[in-house]
Amino acid sequence: MPTLRLALCQVDPTVGDIAGNADLVRVWTRKAADAGAQLALFPELMLTGYPVEDLVFRRSFVAASRAALHRLAADLAADGLGDLPVLVGYLDADGPPQVSADAEPGRGARNAAALLHGGAVVATYFKHHLPNYGVFDEDRYFVSGDALTVVRIGGVDVALTICEDLWQAGGPFAVARHAGVGLVLNINGSPYELNKDDIRLPLVRRRAAEAGAAIAYVNMVGGQDELVYDGDSMIVDATGTLLARAPQFVEHLLVHDVDLPPAKEPVDGEQAADGMRIVRAKVSDILPPAPVGEVAVGGIIAPVADEAEVWQALVVGLRDYVNKNRFPSVVLGLSGGIDSAVVAALAVDALGPDRVVGVSLPSQHSSEHSRADAEELAKRTGLDFRIEPIQPMVDTFLANMSLSGVTVENLQARVRGVILMALSNQEGHLVLTTGNKSELAVGYSTLYGDSVGGYNPVKDVWKTLIWRLAKWRNADAERRGETPPIPESSIGKPPSAELSPGQLDSDSLPEYDVLDPILIGYVDGDLGREGLVASGHDPAIVDRVLRMVDTAEYKRRQSAPGTKISIKAFGRDRRLPITNRWREDG
């Protein structure tokens, strides 16, 4: 029985950085070769980054991707790595973009994979199943492939597939069984959401059973705008037994020796199956030598607690957004409350304290304990702490305009926003906004005030989860013998915007342990009023909450991007019209 040493290269590409991504392939291919690999694989659309969105429509970008692929094949050979087969995702096209006037049926842009060997492209595959739900719009961009590519490598027949091909029954994996392959490679750009890692392994096992073959699943890591990728690459054998699994949220080389069945000669007159043709190719017999000595064991990384998983996702999403967009640092308002405290702790974990500026912006309504909590957090984390009182500026406005009530509350928030943006302009910081998903859902924010900013790390985090994250982060610090970053009083005190005397969030909103389950059902679960009431929620509270959610769409449309961690994030996932008279009325 042949043994192939597989190297799954779980790396962090950047959209549009074709040259930089190609360099990543060269660096990690060298690591794979040094580990004795006989086959290396990289994530979906590795050369271009993923998702490329409307860059697909630029023929210059497609041409650059194709040219880079051939240049990469030659560069790998020049690096002395030509004997190692390397599977890499790239953007291809066999016709004009589908949106152009000269578009051709069945031709256009392709989400593609290429096997590089001996300085050349020896095989290609076009993604068959194109996702068009949630954050995915691949029917808008790509044309579906209609052939399964099977490559003979080291005496084993290996099928090439891409991401969504794994998530749908039938198609490539059914055809792989028909073709008698021993191994299916599946390269991914699969975005993170909470507990998705619990879904992947059973899914990969089902596809292994469907194909009757082992599966090597490699996923990218890193952040791309709202999306964050968690890696979680793995290998299972044909029986569904997990052989190796990579950690989440870090670049990682997973190397493992896999025993595979020898290739059999295809049956004469081989026919298509499940609407797909079978295209066979063969890699040159010149491969890295078979592994000798100790067997390579990739290991199996155990999953972590939900709070740890979410924290890592938020840290990676923020870090990559800041670094890939070349911001030197971030600035945020530190109110002493739980939301800004969590965002500050995330920023320090992501970037280090020397790249985080926290600004206390007290007004006459800011309590002494809130000011003290903000200062205490700054001491614990070591970030750059500043104090900019807003009351003189607010008083100047009030001396020149007749304002009252909630307008004065909003004025305070907007003065704070102006100060943060001024610091951003003056010193180059990216402004982080700190509103949680519960507040965004019901519109509990001030446009151009506390909502101001270029990125929101907790945009997709419900308020009740904010508290859980804060407690977990402090407990994690204590376990490691470190100072907990978030003051206990920030966690324990009732939440308040402190824009008027004695103000509490509960003056305007239901308690969050009541509010969040309703929001989760309505926003994430698309339950209507009847479904929410049937779930046990008070009808009057449901009616009140749904009115707030429905009338706040215009605010959400203007909110900063933020890391997606749930099944349905505001923005890419949930797209509702602003002008909309439909109401879930009681």
* CA–CA separation, 24 and 42 (whole Å): 10
DSSP conformation class of 169 = S
Question: What is the maximum alpha-carbon separation in the chain?
Answer: 90
Residue 9 is a catalytic residue: no
Sign (positive or negative) of CA dihedral 18, 24, 26, 32: negative
Burial of 81 (0-12, 13-18, 19+ CB in 10 A): buried
How is residue 577 written in tokens? 């019209």
**Spatial contact of 413 and 390, defined as CB atoms under 8 Å apart:** no
Please give, one letter per residue, the 3-state secondary structure of 482-519.
Answer: CCCCCCHHHHHCCCCCCCCCCCCHHHCCCCHHHHHHHH
Residue 379 is a catalytic residue: no
* CA–CA separation, 167 and 206 (whole Å): 10
**Spatial contact of 456 and 431, defined as CB atoms under 8 Å apart:** no
* CA–CA separation, 68 and 17 (whole Å): 11
**Spatial contact of 539 and 545, defined as CB atoms under 8 Å apart:** no
String of b and e for 255-280 (b: at least 16 CB within 10 Å)?
bbbbebbebeeeeeeeeebbebebbe
Q: Concatenate the DSSP letters of all residues of 538-585 into one string.
A: -HHHHHHHHHHHHHTHHHHHTSPP----SSS-BTTTB---SS------
How is residue 72 written in tokens? 């990469």
Q: Which of these is catalytic: 9, 44, 307, 409?
A: 44
Q: Which of these is catalytic: 9, 138, 163, 210?
A: 163
Q: Which of these is catalytic: 31, 53, 104, 127?
A: 127
Q: Classify strands 330-333 and 356-360 as parallel, antiparallel or unpaired.
A: parallel
Residues with Cβ < 8 Å from 574, sequence gap 6 or more?
523, 568
* CA–CA separation, 496 and 218 (whole Å): 44
What are the strands of the beta sheet with 183-188, ordered from one edge? 242-245, 234-236, 214-219, 183-188, 156-162, 147-153, 277-282
SS3 of residue 305 by DSSP: coil
How many Å is the Cα radius of gyration of the chain?
26
Phi, psi (rounded to 5 degrees) for 418: -60, -40
* Residues identified as active-site: 44, 127, 163
